[in-house]
């Protein structure tokens, strides 16, 4: 009986040619997917895995019983640590117990006093009080502090009959070369009236003297107000007598300097040489921050057509006066 011959080719593993066909198919499949797509798929897989990992981490310490908040104190003694709850504190404390006698009580209504010092109520303190270890008030820090009085008391003084009321006075006097004319009568009369006014001030008042030409010359070389003490008055007299007329005139700069002192009253004495323009008068009104009253005195043989000094006085609420140098009386 003839049996059909069995083909062993079917049982044999695929040959190299067949394997080659499969490899080429896989390579072609790889080549059919772009590299950027493979990279994207890889990164998305990593991100998805990371998100899954994080969502599995429990928050906190698991389930927590429903508890109420409270204050817990820790009592550490020697080597043991004891935790006290609010209930324990309430049981161990005695509400009616008195405070520890070792803790001093403080009376908030009573202000402590520093040793050797008295509590003052804003009184001006002079040198003797400072030596007695008293704290000075703010007013006593003004140059030339006042003893036995208060800074800021108002009074009325005058120059050439023009009154000025306040507590802070500035005297602004022209010392230019033109003031020495007519045998120095304008300057001598100005110095005489200035000295009379300064000596009339109370110790509670403050003053400053400014002589000017092209530049300003300030009493004690310090741009500040001085208390009208006897010592300052004596020093002011020497300063006034030392001034001699010289140089040109800069009225505007001098008045701006006076405004910096924030005075109540300015006595402005000049022969008005040069005068002021309308713009300068407007600027002066704007710079007069303390709203000082400006009283102006003009020296001359006859009154000029220039009315700038009169305008400056009027704008500030002050007064203007013309003094004929031929009729000036100098003592």
Nearest Cα to 263, choosing from 196, 184, 210, 315?
210
Per-state percent for the chain, helix, strand, coil, to nearest 5: 35, 20, 45
Per-residue pLDDT, 110: 45
Give pLDDT tens digits for 129-153: 333 333 333 344 344 444 444 677 8
CB 211 within 8 A of CB 173: yes
Give pLDDT tens digits for 76-92: 444 445 555 555 545 55
Q: What is the DSSP letter of 143?
A: B
Mean pLDDT of 252-262: 97
Q: Are strands 320-324 and 293-300 parallel, antiparallel or unpaired?
A: parallel
Q: What is the mean pLDDT of the chain?
A: 75
Comparison of pLDDT for 65 and 244, the residue scoring more = 244
The tokens for 233 are 């008055």
Per-residue pLDDT, 103: 43
Q: Burial, 285: exposed, middle or buried (Cβ in 10 Å; 0-12, 13-18, 19+)?
A: middle
Per-residue pLDDT, 27: 53
Comparison of pLDDT for 57 and 298, the residue scoring more = 298
Per-residue pLDDT, 121: 33
CB atoms < 10 A from the CB of 184, how many?
A: 14
Q: Which domains does the chain have, with CATH numbers?
A: 123-148 (no CATH), 155-324 (3.40.50.410)
Give pLDDT tens digits for 200-229: 999 999 999 999 999 999 999 999 999 999
Using H for helix, E for strand and C for coil, what is the string for 183-217? HHHHHHHHHHHHHHHHHHCCCCCEEEEEEECCCEE
Dihedral sign computed on CA atoms, order 95, 98, 104, 110: positive
Give pLDDT tens digits for 160-205: 999 999 999 999 999 999 999 888 999 999 999 999 999 999 999 9
Give pLDDT tens digits for 261-302: 999 999 999 998 778 999 999 999 999 999 999 999 999 998
């Amino acid at each position: 009986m003839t049996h059909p011959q069995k083909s062993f080719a079917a049982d044999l593993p695929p040959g190299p040619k067949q394997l080659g066909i499969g490899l080429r198919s896989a390579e072609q499949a790889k080549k059919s997917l772009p590299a950027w797509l493979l990279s994207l798929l890889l990164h998305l897989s990593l991100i998805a895995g990371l998100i899954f990992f994080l969502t599995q981490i429990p928050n906190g310490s698991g389930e927590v019983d429903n508890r109420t908040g409270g204050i817990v104190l820790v009592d550490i003694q020697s080597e043991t640590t004891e935790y006290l709850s609010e209930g324990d504190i309430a049981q161990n404390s005695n509400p009616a117990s008195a405070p520890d006698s070792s803790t001093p009580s403080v009376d908030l209504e009573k202000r402590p006093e520093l040793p050797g010092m008295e509590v003052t109520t804003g009184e001006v303190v002079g040198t003797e009080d400072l030596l007695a270890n008293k704290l000075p008030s703010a007013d006593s820090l003004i140059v030339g502090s006042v003893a036995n009085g208060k800074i800021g008391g108002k009074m009325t003084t005058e120059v050439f009959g023009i009154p000025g009321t306040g507590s802070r006075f500035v005297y602004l006097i022209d010392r230019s070369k033109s003031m020495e004319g007519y045998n120095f009568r304008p300057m001598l009369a100005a110095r005489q009236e200035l000295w009379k006014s300064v000596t009339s001030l109370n110790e509670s008042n403050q003053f400053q003297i400014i002589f000017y030409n092209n530049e300003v010359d300030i009493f004690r070389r310090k741009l500040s107000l001085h208390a009208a003490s006897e010592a300052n008055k004596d020093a002011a007299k020497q300063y006034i007598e030392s001034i001699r007329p010289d140089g040109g005139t800069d009225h505007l700069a001098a008045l701006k300097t006076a405004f910096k002192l924030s005075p109540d009253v300015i006595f402005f004495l000049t022969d008005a040489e040069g005068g002021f323009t309308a713009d300068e008068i407007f600027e002066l009104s704007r710079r007069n921050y303390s709203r000082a009253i400006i009283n102006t005195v003009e020296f001359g043989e006859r009154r000029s057509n220039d009315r700038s000094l009169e305008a400056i006085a009027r704008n500030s609420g002050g007064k203007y006066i013309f003094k004929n140098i031929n009729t000036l009386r100098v003592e």
